Amino acid sequence: MTGPGRNSEVAAHQGQRSGYVALAGRPNVGKSTLMNAILGHKLSIVSAKPQTTRQRICGIKTHARGQVVYVDTPGIHRVGKKALNRYMNRVARASLVDVDLVLLLVEAERWTAQDEAVASTLLALGSPVFLVVNKVDRIRDKSELLAYLDKHARGGRFERVLLVSALKGDGLEALEKAVNDALPFSQPFYDEDQLTDRSERFLAAELVREQLMERLHKEIPYALTVEIEAFERTPKLLRIGAVIWVERESQKKIVIGKRGEALKQAASRARVALEGFFGEKVFLETWVRVSRNWSDDDRLLRKLGYDELK
| pLDDT tens-digit profile, the chain (310 residues) | 344 444 444 545 467 999 999 999 988 889 999 999 999 998 998 888 877 888 999 999 999 889 999 999 888 766 667 899 888 888 888 888 889 999 999 998 888 888 988 998 898 888 899 999 999 988 888 788 888 888 887 767 899 999 999 999 999 999 999 999 999 999 999 999 999 999 999 999 999 999 999 888 877 888 999 999 999 999 999 999 999 999 999 999 999 999 999 999 999 999 999 999 999 999 999 999 999 999 999 999 999 988 765 5
Q: In the prediction, which pLDDT does 78 show?
A: 65
What is the DSSP-derived secondary structure letter of residue 279?
Answer: T
Q: Domain spans of the chain?
A: 8-182, 200-303
Q: In the prediction, which pLDDT does 2 show?
A: 41
Q: In the prediction, which pLDDT does 11 show?
A: 46
Provide the CATH topology of domain 8-182: Rossmann fold (3.40.50)
Q: In the prediction, which pLDDT does 215 show?
A: 87
Q: In the prediction, which pLDDT does 1 show?
A: 39
Q: In the prediction, which pLDDT does 218 show?
A: 76
Distance of CA 133 to the CA centre of its chain: 17
200-303 and 8-182 share a CATH fold: no
- What letter represents residue 106's amino acid? V
Q: In the prediction, which pLDDT does 250 show?
A: 95
Measured CA to CA, the distance from residue 263 to residue 252 in angstroms comes to: 10
Q: In the prediction, which pLDDT does 184 show?
A: 95
CATH superfamily of 200-303: K homology (KH) domain (3.30.300.20)
Q: Strand 101-107's sheet: what is its strand order?
A: 57-63, 66-72, 17-24, 101-107, 129-134, 160-163
